Chains A and B, each alone.
Chain A
Amino acid sequence: MRVAQARRFVVSDHPLPWLLPLVAILLVFTVYPLIYNIWLSFHEFVPRRRALEFVGTENWVQLWNDTRFWQSLVITFTYFAIALVFELVLGMAIALLLDSDGFGFGFLRGVLTMTLVIPPAIVGMMYLLMEDPQFGVISYLLQSIGLLNPNNPILATASTALAGVLVAEIWQWTPFMVLIFLAGLRALPPEPYEAAMIDGASSFQIFRRITLPMMSKVIAIAVLVRGIDLFRVFDYVFVMTSGGPGASTYSLSLYAWQQTFSFVKWGYGATLSLVTLVIILVIANLFIRIAKVRW
């Protein structure tokens, strides 16, 4: 390409010149690490020799036989499903309550965004204290009403630890759902509602027949964004339980991090990360097709 042609190309309406820097950044910081990760999953770092050695499919075979991996997969799915259902239902309920221009509602909507600016690790530490069996307010309240045995601390008992972590997750991210749903609700046209009210439809009928169908795309986007995030859960379990008691709160991300950084198994850690990525991609794509999400 000659100089004059290049100059014309740059000043033309063609988007490529403007996209090239972004594409280059994506190649360097996304595509290259992904390819390197795939390559790494067929290797393993050998501490004795301070070298990466080719191990073929050994990491993938190990993954298949690794009970901790399967356990962490189940835990991650459980965490994902419970958190998503709670955040969706609560988010929608709160959004419906806050969908008003009455006095004080603007302030309430502002207050809700506050949880989103707190780093998840800090929220984890807050709940760690609140669920402490000695002086935690949540433990105290649950013990007071007889729902918690003082000898079974929330985060140190296998049957309650995941619930203890989920409370922090749901508390912090339900407002995110509220904000998305509120934006959707406020963008809905008023005419169908007016017609329904004239026809004498009840509030529940209006919600089920009008609001929900019209909000379906917004809900799908919210599910997709939060679902991907939920599947990568790390901060809360790391801070609150470190995966315990036993391995009852071990998430896939925590397991991958531990193998990579604590035990220097770079190859196996890369394999675990890849599996997480593949699962997220498959589920997200399926969901996009089923929910007919359009970008």
Chain B
Amino acid sequence: MKDSIRKAHLASVTDRFVRGQMDRRSFLRAASILGLGAGALGMGLGRRPFYGISQASAQEQELKPSAEITKWLSDVGKPFAGTTLRLATESTPPSNAIATQLKQYFEEATGIKVEIEVLPLEQVLQKLTLDVASSLGTYDLYYIDQSWAASFSQDVFDPREQLKNADLAMPNYNIDDFLKPLVDGIAMYEDRMVGVPYDIPIFIMQYRKDVWDELKLPPPATLDDLLKASAAITDAKGPNMYGTSGQMKSGHYSLECDWTAWLWGHGGSIFGPDGKFTGNDEAGLAAMAYWDKLKATMPPGVDGWTWDGEGQSVGQGVAASMLSWGEFFPFFDDPKASKVSGLMEAMVPPKPAATLRTVEQTGFGEIPGVGHQGGSSLAVSKYSKSPDAAWIFMQWATSADTQALITVLGGGTGPTRTSVYDDPRVLANARVGAGTTRHLPVVRDTIANYMGSEPDLPAWAELSSDMIPVALGKYFAGQSGSAKESLDALKTQVDDLVAKG
């Protein structure tokens, strides 16, 4: 087909879809044939930038839920036909894949309608907070960021308890298949399981192998390697290219994420076992000294970037590496979106500069590790008017089969189940190109061996999204004196807030 004719057809079907003259399924099928990725539907929906649907993979494979799962849904869902379930979620790979491509299969099999609201993360928190404060049950399913686990732990069903209802239990759901470090890091608060792991962005090392080879640099296996290589690249190629990048926007959660990686990597921790702030101790100051040197090798705009700007800086060839979210990797491999397709290499995070603290040496369940983990859980609200129907949906959405489909459709997100990493559909996508999964072995290894996880306490949402990143932002803006003065002031603020509970 000539390109001009293809584009004319594409414009025509898009026009019909927008005018409501064509259902979504037909549009997706037509658009897929004409070469338009379904990711276009999700454009601009959320703040996490690179969560499109993998056009290449969606076209190459027949991606549908297994017949066995569909039959179970059909059997168990019948009594709930006509029910409407609601979920408020951030724009994440699982939610986007389910909302745009997969939920139709669930709805057809069960007769249960699913409404998914995709919102910026802070708005999800507002909606959930209002929902629990009023106990209205507006949302049947809660998308719970790992930093809110403590806050919502009493407002959701523990999935281990729900599984005891044999009538509604999905055959072979296998809760033990979820990666244990994720269960501990994302879903557990004290003795309660706050949903099941649903989404796992995690820091991995991503670097331009061509640049490293050209300058004969050793792969960034240690933090010291990373610093030396970054400085060498900036010296050799700046100001056209810088050695590494960051997400250092003052006052933004992303800055706190970067900080923890360096802090943990220098043997420090946010809290001590007594629940007091320890980010200002010797290890904390060493981390800041390292960070200052590393920042000098980053592009000038780094103080204004969240993960979006950081990813773009690497994707557009401005920076040669980043220790950041692995979800960017499939975007880097997409030749239509980035200038570095096929040039990037993924590896586990650099080795720490000092021995990591143990969980016992930290506070509030903090797990030190250079591979900073984000992530969220999915749970059924205790205030839901249809908890059983919501539980059926939750099992389907987090089952191994659906998770595999999400991984392939969702642009290379890290699966939360062990079995999904070995799924043939996922392995088949491990090649250079859009939506690649070739970085997933590194993600798996990082989760198992190098993962760092933030503490769980009710005040953590405020600490991680405001107090800490504002204090760090002031430091880098030169508003608060030396690193020691800044962190000492931060300690006073943090300890006061934690003491208030």
Chain A interface residues toward B at CB < 8 A: 45, 47-48, 50, 132-134, 150-153, 155-158, 241-248, 258, 261-264
Q: B438-458 vs A: 1/0 string, CB under 8 Å?
A: 000000000000000000001
Question: Which chain A positions have C-beta within 8 A of B302?
Answer: 156
Instruction: Report whether B122 and A248 are in contact in the complex, using a CB–CB cutoff of 8 Å.
Output: no
Q: Which of A151, A155, A156 has the most CB of B within 10 A?
A: A156
Cβ of B261 < 8 Å from any Cβ of A? no
Interchain nearest-CB distance for A157 vs B (Å):
7
B residues apposed to A, CB below 8 Å? 122, 125-126, 129, 132-133, 135, 151, 239, 249-252, 299-304, 313, 318, 458, 461-462, 465-466, 470, 473-480, 501
Which of A47, A243, A264 lies at the interface centre, i.e. has the most chain B CB atoms within 10 A of its CB?
A: A47
Contacts of A158 in B (CB 8 A): 477-479
Question: Roughly how many angstroms separate A258 CA and B465 CA in the complex, as a whole number?
Answer: 10
Among candidates A48, A244, A248, A263, residue contacting B249 with C-beta atoms closer than 8 Å: A244
Residues B301 and A47 in contact, CB atoms below 8 Å apart: no
B303 and A156: CB pair below 8 A? yes
From the candidates B122, B318, B458, name the one contacting A47 in the complex (CB within 8 A).
B458
| Cα A230 to Cα B313 with chains together (Å) | 35
A134-B300, A245-B479, A248-B479 known; 10 other A-B pairs, CB under 8 Å? A156-B303, A242-B251, A244-B250, A244-B251, A244-B473, A246-B473, A247-B473, A262-B126, A262-B462, A262-B466
Please state if B462 and A263 are interface contacts (CB–CB under 8 Å).
yes
Question: Would you give 26 A-B contacts (Cβ < 8 Å), ordered by A?
Answer: A47-B458, A50-B132, A133-B300, A134-B300, A152-B300, A153-B303, A156-B302, A156-B303, A156-B304, A156-B477, A157-B303, A158-B478, A242-B249, A243-B470, A244-B250, A244-B252, A245-B250, A245-B473, A245-B474, A245-B477, A246-B477, A246-B480, A247-B251, A262-B122, A262-B126, A262-B462
Q: Is the CB of B301 within 8 A of A244?
A: no
Partner of B239, one of A48, A150, A243, A247: A150
Q: Write the nearest CB–CB distance from B292 to chain A, whole angstroms.
A: 14
Q: Please determine whether A156 and B251 come into contact, CB atoms closer than 8 angstroms.
A: no
Q: Are A150 and B476 in contact (CB under 8 A)?
A: no
A234 smallest CB distance to B (angstroms): 14
**In the docked arrangement, what's the CA distance between A104 and B475, Å?**
52
Secondary structure of the A contact surface, majority rule: loop
* Cβ contact within 8 Å between A242 and B250: yes
The reply to whether B301 and A132 form a contact with Cβ atoms under 8 Å apart is yes
Which residue from chain A places its CB closest to the CB of B305 in the assembled complex? A156
| Contact (Cβ within 8 A) A244 B470 | yes
Known: A244-B473, A263-B466. A156 touches B250 (CB 8 A): yes
Partner of A246, one of B318, B462, B470: B470
User: Does the CB pair A47–B473 fall under 8 Å?
Assistant: no
Contacts of B133 in A (CB 8 A): 45, 50
Q: Which residue of A lies closest to B489 (CB)?
A: A67
Give A151 to B252 CA distance when docked, in angstroms.
21
Residues of B within 8 A of A134 (CB): 299-301, 313, 318
Q: Which residues of A contact B501 (CB under 8 A)?
A: 48
Cα separation A276 to B198 with both chains bound (whole Å): 41
Count how many pairs of residues, one from A and one from B, have CB atoms less than 8 Å apart in the complex: 96
Q: Least Cβ distance of A143 to chain B in Å?
A: 10
Pairwise interchain contact A247-B135, C-beta atoms closer than 8 A: no
Q: Which residues of A contact B470 (CB under 8 A)?
A: 243-244, 246-247
B129 touches A244 (CB 8 A): no
Residues of B within 8 A of A153 (CB): 300-301, 303-304
Q: How far is the CB of A56 from chain B (nearest CB, A)?
A: 16
> Which of A153, A246, A262 gathers most chain B CB within 10 Å?
A246
Minimal beta-carbon separation of B468 from chain A (angstroms): 12
Give bound CA distance, A217 to B111, whole Å: 66
Chain A residues near B250: list those with CB within 8 A. 156, 241-246
A258 to B470, CA, bound (A): 13
CB of A243 within 8 A of CB of B251, answer yes
B414: min CB distance to chain A, Å: 27
Residue on B nearest A45 in the bound complex, by CB: B133
B303 near A247 with CB under 8 A, answer: no
**Shortest CB distance B77–A (Å):** 31
* B residues less than 8 Å from A45 (CB atoms): 133
Contact B477 A157 (CB under 8 A): yes
With A47-B151, A261-B122, A263-B461 as contacts: A245 and B303 at CB distance below 8 Å: yes
Q: Which residue of B lies closest to A264 (CB)?
A: B129
Nearest CB of A to B326, in Å: 24
Given the complex of chains A and B, what is the CA–CA distance between A25 and B114 in angstroms? 36
CA A158 to CA B251, docked complex, whole Å:
13
Q: How far is the CB of A58 from chain B (nearest CB, A)?
A: 11
Among residues of A, the one whose C-beta sits closest to the C-beta of B296 is: A151
Q: Which residue of B lies closest to A246 (CB)?
A: B474
Q: Which residue of B has the minimal Cβ distance to A258?
A: B466
Minimum distance in angstroms from B205 CB to a CB of chain A: 23
**A48 in contact with B458 (CB, 8 Å):** yes
CB distance from B463 to the nearest CB of A (A): 10
CB distance from B19 to the nearest CB of A (A): 26
Bound complex: CA A295 to CA B466 (Å): 43
Instruction: Report A-chain residues with C-beta under 8 Å of the C-beta of B465.
Output: 262
A65 to chain B, nearest CB (A): 11
- Report yes or no: A155 in contact with B466, Cβ–Cβ below 8 A: no
Q: Is the CB of B462 within 8 A of A244?
A: no
Question: Whole-angstrom distance between the alpha carbons of A284 and B251 in the complex?
Answer: 32
CB distance from A243 to the nearest CB of B (A): 5
Query: From A158, which residue of chain B is reached at the shortest CB distance?
Result: B477
Q: Are B301 and A156 in contact (CB under 8 A)?
A: yes
Q: Which residues of B contact A264 (CB under 8 A)?
A: 125-126, 129
User: Given the complex of chains A and B, what is the CA–CA distance between A85 and B465 in angstroms?
Assistant: 35
| Residue numbers in A under 8 Å from B251 (CB-CB) | 242-247
Name the residue in B249, B304, B477 with the highest tally of chain A Cβ atoms < 10 Å from its Cβ.
B304
Q: Which residues of A contact B252 (CB under 8 A)?
A: 242, 244
- Chain B's closest residue to A132 (CB) is B301
Q: Which residues of A contact B126 (CB under 8 A)?
A: 261-262, 264
Taking a contact as CB atoms under 8 Å apart, the answer to whether A151 and B473 are in contact is no
Chain B residue numbers with a CB within 8 Å of A152 are 300
Complex Cα distance A242/B465, Å? 11
Please provide the 8 A-B residue pairs with the shortest distance between their CB atoms, ordered closest to farther: A244-B250, A246-B474, A156-B303, A245-B477, A245-B250, A158-B477, A156-B304, A133-B301
Contact partner of B300 among A151, A242, A245, A261, CB < 8 A? A151
For residue B405, give the distance in angstroms from its CB to the closest CB of chain A.
Answer: 34
Contact A155 B304 (CB under 8 A): yes
**B residues in contact with A151, CB < 8 Å:** 300
